[in-house]
Chain A
Amino acid sequence: MKTATPLCKIAFFLLLQLWLAAVQAHAFIDHSQSKTGAELDVPPKAIVLTFDKSIEAAFSSIKIVREESQKVIATGAAQGVEGESDKLVLPLSELSPGEYHVYWEILARDGHRTMGDYTFVVR
């Protein structure tokens, strides 16, 4: 039983940290309004990403690229949504039919960065 006491102390300390810690973590994308891989009849008016945790919108970004030409679609900056700290929104002007690639990079409240990308098609 030589190793039991040190391990128990470590386990207790960790559990204490769990209880005391502010519970924020990596933010991973929960869903996007224009779903990953979707084919849409109506072009979206905005890219709306919802994450599983609160994010720092001011330090997060969304970029949309037309796949065919690899041209970045000119938009404003991505914005947060008041009262919904898990959302990031990029307003869009009308998208013509084609395939689009969305790239996002966000900073979670805990300081961890996550990134991702997905495509959708406007028919």
Chain B
Amino acid sequence: MTHKYNKKLHRSLGPAALLISLALLPTSGWSHGWAGKRFFPSTLLTEDPFVNDEFSFIVGHIKGPDEDGVLNRTTNMESEYTKTIFPNFGISLGGNVNFIDPVNGDADHSGFSNMEVGAKYQFFTSARYESLASIGLAASIGGTGNPNVPEGDAFSTLAPGIFFGQGFGFLPKNMKFLRPFAFTGLVQANVPTTRESFIDGEFSRNPNTLTWGGAIEYSIPYLQAFVKDVGIPAPFNRMIPVVEALATKCIDRACSGTTGTINPGVMWVGSYFQLGLEATIPFNDATGKHVGVMAQFHILIDDVAPKSLGRPLFGN
């Protein structure tokens, strides 16, 4: 047993050492969320393609069906803290609480969803081409939440994913007013750790799902600083209109169909924090028939506390 354990530990040292070395590769000193002169804001609905020290608080409200088709008014409050360990590697801790008000008059109920932890590695940044990309693994820890609310399952779910961002500063001069556009995207698998669960006296299967989505944003700060100063005054000169979309599809275990939303809105980026506001529009009946709303308060910790909490634990 000891021999097997040592072998396992020994085998894991190599990849761990490689990961640490990659994470410690010297960076140019650029902070995260930036690729050259392009700043990628933290979007509300879709995961960011970068690693940063940040704290995010999002509240949303929507009327829509739950997994059993029961129509509810749901208010969800979500918070997440991300900390860089190495310059390009960070971990996150998040949780959310749901307040559910059934439309049919049944009793309200509320509770926390499962706690979420994650790790992300930003493996690519190009200042010249305004590009960045990360890979990550998130985990929803089963049993840490209330089983009567969404994502409060007894089982855990692992979600490996890839995230990327691309600015359009490379466009030619005759398309210069399109340069403030940027696109971010993600593809993520959601893999339950158990194939089926025993709930309310019967077995139900836990499907694997695939999530994909992205955001298209137009940066007013980028327009005025790098394309043409058209004289847009504060506070509008710090706004970034955005349209996000996120979809999830069941891929096995007698589950099919896709649900998702399209979220048009706007973000305002200050020096130390960011605000966001989006409409949540279901894109099919399975998702719902009513428009909801999401709002964000996001702290840029690397700007607020650059010499302490806002810097990586190891490395520059």
Which A residues are within 8 Å of any B CB, using their own CB?
A: 1-4, 6-7, 10-11, 14, 17-18, 20-26, 28-29, 31-32, 35-38, 52-53, 110-118
Q: A118 and B306: CB pair below 8 A?
A: no
Q: A28–B31 Cα gap in the complex (Å)?
A: 13
Q: Chain A nearest CB: distance from B67 CB in Å? A: 22
13 contacts between A and B (CB under 8 A): A3-B95, A10-B81, A14-B309, A21-B305, A24-B303, A24-B306, A25-B303, A25-B306, A26-B303, A31-B229, A53-B271, A110-B307, A115-B37
Interchain CB contact (< 8 A) of A26 among B225, B271, B305, B308: B271
Q: Establish whether residues B305 and A18, one from each chain, have CB atoms under 8 Å apart when the complex forms.
A: yes
Contact present for A38 and B112 (CB under 8 Å): no
| Separation of A28 and B305 alpha carbons in the complex (Å) | 17
- By beta carbon, the residue of chain B nearest A8 is B79
Separation of A21 and B299 alpha carbons in the complex (Å): 13
Interface positions, chain B 72-114, Cβ under 8 Å from A, are 79, 81, 93, 95, 97, 112
Instruction: Please determine whether A14 and B225 come into contact, CB atoms closer than 8 angstroms.
Output: no
* CA–CA, A35 and B308, complex, Å: 36
Min CB distance B273 to A, Å, is: 9
Nearest chain A CB to B46 CB, angstrom units: 22
Indicate which residue in B28, B271, B308, B309 contacts A113 across the interface (CB closer than 8 Å).
Answer: B28
| Chain B neighbourhood of A20, CB < 8 A | 305
Inter-subunit contact B299/A14 (CB<8 Å): yes
- Is B228 within 8 A of A21, CB to CB? no
CB neighbours (8 Å) of A116 from chain B are 37, 225-226
Interchain CB contact under 8 A, B272 and A23: yes
